[in-house]
């Protein structure tokens, strides 16, 4: 009985994915003037909303995600090795456990030009997307387990590597490089957020620096820019490694090189005064 139930649940999960694939295929065709071949983007309802993806569960090779929100949308347990993903509008590699708990190992990936585009050109802006590699499940969703190792993530709009919403991820031996000083967004190299757990070890994180001078006052109202200047401590900052809304005791970290070009090397924003 248990075996039949497991097979049935698996079939239901596969059926849901097939329905999404068949029902929501979107064709994105660049103009002939741009010299860009037709690219098929598939629409999914993800834990981060309805998004399009250039590939699903691709483990190696190269993905040109021009015109799609996601480069590689991963929804099953697998190993990713030596995969190159570039020019997605929102997420390079998105490991999503919204359909069920999964474990995904990513090794030797190269991810770049993730964020806003004008035509085929990467033109980053202040929108809070553009993340190279992200593990997420949505609020209260099943856990996404995994690891990111020996990977190179650069030219991202908001963040390099992120573990979010109860994900348990080991990030080890990666090179994460921001855009350098920019005024339009506060980048973060590696971010673990909203009760994520895992380890951050032996990474080289550099060039995350925000010069915009905007922020939030204690009452939640904006400051800086067109608003009154922010008092000390209320401006947004970029970080090499950021732990936010999290118990830092759940993150093993050490031997990370964050000494080059980051506005702040580390920052911890906890959800409890006792953390």
pLDDT in tens, 70-128: 999 999 999 999 999 999 999 999 999 988 999 999 999 999 999 999 999 999 999 99
Name, in order, each residue with C-beta under 8 angstroms of 258's C-beta and a sequence gap of 6 or more: 189, 205, 206, 240, 241, 265, 266
- For all residues of the chain together, what is the average pLDDT? 87
Q: What is the mean pLDDT of residues 166-193?
A: 97
Q: What is the pLDDT of residue 67?
A: 97
Tokens of 112: 């770049």
Please count the other Cβ atoms lying within 10 Å of the Cβ belonging to residue 99.
19
* 93 compared with 39, residue with greater pLDDT: 93
Which residue spans within 78-229 are E strands per DSSP? 78-81, 83-86, 91-96, 102-107, 110-114, 117-118, 121-122, 131-136, 144-149, 152-156, 159-164, 168-172, 175-182, 188-193, 197-201, 204-210, 215-216, 222-223
| Burial zone of 48 (CB within 10 Å; 0-12 exposed, 13-18 middle, 19+ buried) | buried
When pLDDT is averaged across residues 30-48 and rounded to a whole number, the result is 65
Task: Select the more confidently predicted residue: 34 or 224.
Answer: 224
**Cα distance between residue 10 and residue 7, in whole Å:** 5
Whether 60 shows a pLDDT value over 80: the answer reads: yes
Burial class (CB in 10 A: 0-12, 13-18, 19+), 212: middle
Instruction: Mention every residue, 6+ apart, whose C-beta is less than 8 A from residue 157.
Output: 114, 115, 116, 124, 125, 127, 129, 130, 131, 185, 187
Residue 28 has a CB neighbour count (10 Å cut-off) of: 14
Per-residue confidence band for 233, with pLDDT thresholds at 50, 70 and 90: confident
**pLDDT classification of 247: cutoffs 50, 70, 90:** confident
Q: With bands split at pLDDT 50, 70 and 90, how would you rate the model's confidence at 5? A: very low
Give the span between the Cα atoms of 195 and 200, in whole angstroms: 15
For residue 264, pLDDT beyond 80: yes
pLDDT single digits (tens) 41-56: 999 999 999 999 999 9
Please compute the mean of the pLDDT values over residues 47-66 and round it to a whole number.
Answer: 97
Residue 10 pLDDT more than 50? no
pLDDT score of 16: 46
The predicted model scores a pTM of 0.85
190-226 pLDDT, tens digit per residue, is 999 998 999 999 999 999 999 999 998 989 899 999 9
């Amino acid at each position: 009985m248990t075996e039949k139930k497991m097979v049935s649940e698996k079939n239901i999960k596969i059926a849901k994915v097939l329905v999404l694939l068949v029902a929501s295929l979107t064709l994105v065709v660049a103009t002939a003037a741009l010299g860009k071949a037709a690219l098929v983007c598939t629409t999914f309802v993800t834990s981060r909303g309805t998004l399009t993806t250039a590939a699903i569960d691709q483990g190696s090779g190269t993905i040109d995600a021009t015109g799609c929100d996601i480069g590689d949308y991963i929804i099953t347990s697998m190993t990713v090795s030596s995969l190159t993903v570039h020019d997605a509008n929102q997420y390079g590699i998105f490991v999503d456990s919204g359909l069920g708990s999964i474990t995904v190992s990513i090794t030797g990936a190269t991810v770049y030009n993730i964020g806003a585009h004008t035509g085929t050109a990467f033109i980053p802006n202040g929108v809070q997307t553009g993340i190279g590699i992200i593990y997420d499940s949505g609020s209260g969703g099943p856990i996404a387990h995994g690891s990111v190792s020996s990977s190179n993530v650069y030219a991202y709009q908001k963040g390099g590597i992120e573990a979010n919403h109860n994900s348990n991820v080991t990030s080890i031996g990666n090179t994460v490089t921001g855009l350098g000083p920019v005024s339009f967004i506060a980048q973060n190299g590696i971010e673990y957020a909203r009760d994520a757990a895992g380890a951050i070890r032996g990474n080289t994180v550099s060039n995350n620096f925000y010069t915009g001078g905007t922020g939030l006052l204690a009452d939640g109202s904006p400051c800086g820019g067109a608003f009154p200047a922010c008092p000390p401590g209320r401006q947004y900052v970029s970080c090499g490694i950021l732990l936010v809304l999290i118990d830092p005791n759940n993150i093993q970290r050490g031997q990370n090189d964050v000494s080059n070009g980051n506005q702040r090397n580390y920052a911890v924003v906890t959800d409890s005064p006792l953390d």
